[in-house]
């Protein structure tokens, strides 16, 4: 590590951090203000970092003392020396005794303003403001899912859920506050379940979704109860589309007229995908229409954070996914091309995953070169992302591409897949 730092071999540095600290390339990219695909390229030994600005950003993101990189001491060094008990952060073996590679979720929680634990938030009897505080914490933690995979976030989300559950069980509170806390707990269980699902732990995900369903029922929240069912339906899709359809229909049956528009849209679009996977084109189209109507009904009122990300762009992506599942590439390709063309690469996992449906549609349309190019982009975007889903979704596409060995673009992407 010291040798890589001294030579400014940041690609080697990133490889070592990933291997020995378990820190994904997407987390490194986020901390160092570098695109995830650039981190992956450097890790493969391609290119270098030479500008002062980028070197300084890496020093700050990875908490590498300036002296190790030929820079002046970084602004944070003295303050961290106080925190970690190191009186000489800039030199010698004392640096090695410090965990200066603090690209961790502990650091992320500080950056998000989440340094306080539940113990510090509570002063004796639980006050009426605590549910709002915890809901706000959950909202800020949810932002991590925009750029990180479930392998990076699961433990943190699960810890928040378990801490809140223990609080509800032990603290003194009124019935009204307890009910409000239960709705927060249902949110936290769903978020932890999503992270477990994203990293491939389906047993943990199903348990958390099921727990959330029971908690949301106890809290009296129809929207959160429906969302728990929608999560369960989504997980069931590759196993039994018919069960997924039934569960998704149950989730939408809980929708009330006064439910937030984004929550209604979210449940309807997941119902649409279930019907699409099951081959029910008319039902999928009707569910997509219901989701569009829900979004158009938005009167500007405050939306719950767990569903506010559902907008017309998200619905366009789901529309393209549905038409791909229904084997209608002429409908799917224009929608997916339009929305993914403006999709930020910083959201590497989501862009990689959604691009799989575009690659699939290209294949169905006989556009082999375009499918291979899109598959290559998926591999680049998903490298180092702590999520199993993009590569799982891409695998059958790669297997179909193997049937076209004479196409140069296919040979290139298959080689990329073998070495990534």
Structure-derived torsion over alpha carbons of residues 229, 230, 231, 236, reported in degrees to the nearest 10: 90
Work out the pLDDT band at 35, boundaries 50, 70, 90: confident
Using the 8-state DSSP alphabet, how is residue 41 labeled? H
Tens digit of pLDDT for each residue in 195-238?
Answer: 999 999 999 999 999 999 999 999 999 999 999 999 999 999 99
Residue 124's pLDDT is 52
pLDDT digits (tens, 9 = 90+) for 19-32: 887 788 888 888 88
Query: Rounded to whole angstroms, how far apart are CA atoms 213 and 251?
Result: 10
User: What count of Cα atoms within 13 Å lies in the side-chain half-sphere of residue 132?
Assistant: 3
Q: What does the alpha-carbon distance between residue 174 and residue 180 come to, in Å, rounded to a whole number?
A: 10
Nearest to 346 by CA among 22, 25, 19: 25
Kindly tell me the burial class for residue 178, based on how many C-beta atoms sit within 10 Å of its own C-beta (0-12, 13-18, 19 or more): middle
Structure tokens at 90: 């800039």
411 phi-psi bin (left φ>0, alpha ψ -120 to 50, beta other):
alpha
Cα 175 from Cα 334, distance rounded (Å): 52
The two structure tokens encoding residue 151: 């392998």
pLDDT band of residue 118 (cuts 50, 70, 90) is low
Q: What is the pLDDT of residues 271-313, one digit of tens each?
A: 999 999 999 999 999 999 999 999 998 887 889 999 999 999 9
Is 57 buried (19+), middle (13-18) or exposed (0-12) by CB count in 10 A? middle
- Which has more pLDDT, 187 or 256? 187
Question: What secondary structure letter does DSSP report for 124?
Answer: S
Q: Is the pTM of this model over 0.85?
A: no
Which backbone phi and psi does 76 adopt, to 5 degrees?
A: -85, -10
């Amino acid at each position: 590590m010291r040798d890589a730092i001294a030579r400014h071999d940041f690609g080697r540095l990133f490889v070592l951090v990933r291997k020995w600290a378990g820190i994904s390339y997407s987390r490194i990219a986020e901390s160092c203000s570098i695109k995830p695909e650039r981190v992956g390229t450097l890790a493969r030994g391609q290119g270098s970092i030479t500008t002062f600005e980028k070197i300084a950003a890496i020093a700050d993101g990875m908490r590498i003392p300036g002296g190790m990189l030929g820079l002046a001491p970084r602004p944070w060094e003295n303050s961290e020396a106080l925190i970690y008990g190191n009186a000489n952060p800039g030199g010698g073996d004392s640096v090695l005794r410090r965990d200066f590679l603090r690209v961790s979720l502990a650091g992320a929680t500080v950056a998000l303003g989440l340094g306080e634990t539940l113990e510090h938030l509570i002063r004796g009897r639980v006050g009426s403001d605590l549910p709002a505080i915890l809901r706000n914490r959950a909202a800020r933690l949810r932002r991590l899912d925009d750029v990180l995979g479930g392998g990076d976030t699961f433990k943190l989300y699960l810890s928040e859920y378990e801490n809140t559950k223990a609080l509800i069980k032990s603290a003194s509170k009124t019935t009204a506050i307890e009910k409000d806390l239960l709705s927060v707990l249902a949110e936290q269980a769903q978020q932890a379940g999503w992270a477990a699902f994203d990293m491939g732990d389906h047993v943990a995900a199903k348990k958390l979704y099921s727990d959330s369903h029971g908690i949301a029922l106890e809290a009296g929240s129809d929207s959160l109860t429906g969302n728990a069912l929608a999560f369960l339906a989504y997980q069931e899709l590759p196993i039994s589309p018919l069960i997924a359809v039934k569960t998704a229909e149950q989730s939408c049956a809980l929708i009330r007229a006064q439910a937030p528009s984004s929550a209604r849209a979210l449940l309807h679009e997941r119902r649409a995908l279930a019907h699409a996977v099951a081959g029910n084109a008319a039902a999928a189209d009707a569910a997509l229409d219901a989701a569009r109507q829900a979004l158009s009904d938005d009167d500007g009122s405050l939306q719950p954070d767990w569903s506010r990300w559902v907008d017309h762009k998200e619905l366009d992506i789901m529309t393209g996914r549905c038409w791909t599942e229904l084997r209608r590439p002429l409908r799917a390709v224009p929608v997916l091309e339009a929305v993914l063309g403006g999709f930020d690469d910083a959201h590497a996992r989501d862009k990689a995953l959604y691009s799989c449906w575009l690659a699939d549609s290209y294949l169905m349309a006989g556009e082999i070169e375009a499918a291979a190019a899109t598959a290559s982009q998926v591999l680049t975007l998903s490298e180092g992302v702590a999520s199993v889903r993009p590569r799982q979704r891409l695998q059958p596409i790669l297997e179909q591409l193997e049937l076209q060995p004479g196409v140069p673009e296919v040979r290139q992407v298959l080689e990329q897949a073998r070495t990534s």
